[in-house]
Amino acid sequence: MKKQDEKIRRTTSTGVRGLLIATTIILALAGSLWANSTVGSGVIGSGADGEHILLKAIIQLNLSDAQKSAIAAILKKNSTAVKTDVQGVLTARAALLDAIHSDTYNEAAVRNASKDVASKEEDLAVLRAQIVSEINVVLTPEQKATISETKKEIQDRIAQRVENISALINAWISKNGK
């Protein structure tokens, strides 16, 4: 019974560690796609499809234990900076949303808030690029190809969502416009 309990503990620990690594890689790799899928202060689509596609791709990478350890070290080293930069983007986006939906129109406030969002997103983009660059050193050419294929699939889905949203808005305008 002890051996079976130990095997379950090791399997669960490895599974959880793998899931955490996969989730963090998803965040690092999907960040630029997320940034490119935003318009103004709102995000186009929920992103859930993209996350599932990336999770599937990460699982298909079949990372070795050495790769998992190396990537975990990279992510751990950058976790505080990622959290800080993500929080900065969220705070800046909330301020922009407040400026856009203010009771009185204030172009300067909207422009300033928009510039702050751009600055915070720039900081996060640079950090993501650094992390992805470090992770890419660990990956094989085949694993990099898998990620590239997945990015293309996500970009196609984002483009389709934009088209669908545009069609819905145009249909609503046609129905309600005079």
pLDDT digits (tens, 9 = 90+) for 73-111: 998 999 999 999 999 999 999 999 999 999 999 999 999
143: closest CA among 31, 51, 25?
Answer: 25
Q: Which of 3-17, 97-111, 155-169 has the lowest mean pLDDT?
A: 3-17
Q: Which residue has the higher pLDDT, 115 or 132?
A: 115
- Model pLDDT, residue 154: 84
CA-nearest of 117, 146, 129, 116 to 74 is: 129
pLDDT over 60 (residue 152): yes
Structural domains of the chain, ranges and CATH numbers in brackets:
2-37+44-140 (1.20.120)
Q: Tell me the C-alpha distance between 142 and 127, whole Å.
A: 24
Task: Give, in order, the Cα–Cα distances in Å from 158 to each of 68, 75, 100, 161, 175.
Answer: 29, 26, 24, 5, 26
Examine the pLDDT at 35 and tell me if it is beyond 50: no
What is d(CA 30, CA 18) in angstroms, rounded to the nearest whole number? 18
> How many CB atoms within 10 Å of residue 154?
23
